[in-house]
Every structure is written in structure tokens, then in C-alpha cells.
Amino acid sequence: DIVMTQSQKFMSTSVGDRVSVTCKASQNVGTNVAWYQQKPGQSPKALIYSASYRYSGVPDRFTGSGSGTDFTLTISNVQSEDLAEYFCQQYNSYPLTFGAGTKLELK
Amino acid sequence: EVKLVESGGGLVQPGGSLRLSCATSGFTFTDYYMSWVRQPPGKALEWLGFIRNKANGYTTEYSASVKGRFTISRDNSQSILYLQMNTLRAEDSATYYCARDHYGSKAYWGQGTLVTVSA
């Protein structure tokens, strides 16, 4: 199975900052990576697919990048509503696998 | 508007069975792969499997952790997705989400239904 490693369980940021959440795949997954946002008590919301394509309605301050094994979700000008947990997922091969998540918190 | 609404969760004893449903609306159900994903309390997401669309013969794929115990099916006439869960274990306790796929990513998610396996 492909392991998606989000090495930072928690990240601290301030409103207006730029923050990058990273995800490393244990094997080459091309650009078959998605990113999700999950707020407490809510279901996940899709942000990015194919590593860098934003879903409709997702603010352009969310940017995905990377290919192969290293991927990044960058949030520019962080807003208070962005404080949530972020998960990466690979869909290059079965079983589809998710990262353990990174919680974005206020400093 | 795309809507996914899960139901059928609850408390079940170890070894028991449960069937979850996911009622969908707002899109052409037969055009899409549909998935089940679960999340134990405070833990990460785990993909369980999916069922392909009409063009791909409604075939299924499962994770090893549930293959042989869980079955994904769909009622295309009513746009409902199902997850039949048998031989349930304590470690199956989680919130279960259905999701509509987009080339392997999960574009839309339901609100989830909680399954607790306990004596």
C-alpha cells in the first residue's frame, strides 16, 4: 500500500499568513493526489484534485502543487475559517490511501 | 445541487450486521463512481471501496480490511448507494461517509452516519 505521510500533525499560523501543508507519498503517484479540508463535527470538503486543480467554489488562496512523491497545499492570506484539519489522498493505485492529517491552528 | 445523505448507522454487537444507505440527488447517479470512506473518532480517513458507474459495469473494488465482509451496491432506479457490513468488529466503529468520485478523488461527501460496534 502507498503511505501518504503528513509529517506535521499540527501547524500554527496567524490570520493573513501564508502556510504550506506537506504530504509525501511512499511511491510515485504522479499527480493523482487530492486535498480535503475538515472542520470539527463536519464531513470533509474537497479542495484540490490532480495535485493542483481547484474544485469549483474553492477560494483561490488555496493552491496545490507537486508531482511524484512530494505534494504541498499552500494557503495564502489565511483566514479564520481556514482553521481546520487538512488531509491528502492518493488515487494512483489501490487501495486509495489518505494522509493522517494536519491541523491548522492559530498561534 | 448535489446531495448525499447517509442513514442506517447505530449500535450493533460484535459479529452483527448493518446496512448503510446513501440517498443521492442533484446529479445523474449512473454516471458516477461512488465510494464509502470511514473515520474512527479522532482518527484519519480510510477508504473502504467504490462501485463504478454504468459505463464501467458497476464493478467494485475494496480495501483489504473489509473485503469479504463488506459489500457495496447501488439501486440506480432510486439513486441510492448501499454498504452491507457483516461480521462487524469493534475496530469497525467509525463515522461512515459516502462520496461521489471524480477520477479517484472524492468530490462530494455526505454528512456521515455513526456506527458503534460494542457489546
- Res B116: pLDDT: 98
Nearest CB neighbour to B107, from listed A32, A55, A96: A55
pLDDT tens, position by position, B1-21:
999 999 999 999 999 999 999
DSSP E strands: which ranges in A4-101?
Answer: 4-5, 10-13, 19-25, 33-38, 45-49, 53-54, 62-67, 70-75, 85-90, 97-98
Residue numbers of B between 80 and 99 with CB closer than 8 Å to A: 97
Mean pLDDT of chain A: 97
The answer to whether B105 contacts chain A (CB < 8 Å) is: yes
Neighbours of B49 (CB within 10 A): 22
**For residues B43 and A42, what is the distance between their CA atoms, to the nearest angstrom?**
14
Q: Quick one: which of A73, A105, A104 has its CA closest to A89?
A: A73
Q: CB neighbours of A76 closer than 8 A, spacing ≥ 6?
A: A18, A61, A63
- The residue-averaged pLDDT of A90-106 equals 96
Which chain B residue shows the shortest CA-CA distance from A33? B105
- Res A57: pLDDT: 96
Question: 459479529: which residue's cell?
Answer: B15
pLDDT tens, position by position, B39-89:
999 999 999 999 999 999 999 999 999 999 999 999 999 999 999 999 999
- Res B27: pLDDT: 97
Nearest CB neighbour to A43, from listed B63, B107, B111: B111
Of all residues in chain B, the percent with pLDDT exceeding 90 is 98
Q: Are A35 and A73 in contact (CB under 8 A)?
A: yes
Residue numbers in A near B5 (CB within 8 A)? none
Mean pLDDT of chain B: 97
Residue numbers in B near A57 (CB within 8 A)? none
- Res A104: pLDDT: 97
- Res A106: pLDDT: 87
Cα B111–B113–B116 angle (5° rounding)? Answer: 150
The size of the A-B interface in CB pairs under 8 A is 57
- Res B55: pLDDT: 97
| A107 has a pLDDT exceeding 90 | no
Of all residues in chain A, the percent with pLDDT exceeding 90 is 98
Which chain B residue shows the shortest CA-CA distance from A92? B104
Which chain A residue shows the shortest CA-CA distance from B44? A100
Q: CB neighbours of B109 closer than 8 A, spacing ≥ 6?
A: A43, A44, A45, A46, B4, B37, B97, B98, B99
Neighbours of B67 (CB within 10 A): 14
Q: Quick one: which of A54, A35, A43 has its CA closest to A99?
A: A35
Q: Sign (positive/negative) of CA torsion A53, A62, A32, B109?
A: negative
**For residues B80 and B94, what is the distance between their CA atoms, to the nearest angstrom?**
21
**For residues B96 and B112, what is the distance between their CA atoms, to the nearest angstrom?**
5
- Res B88: pLDDT: 98
| A47 has a pLDDT exceeding 90 | yes
- The residue-averaged pLDDT of B99-109 equals 94
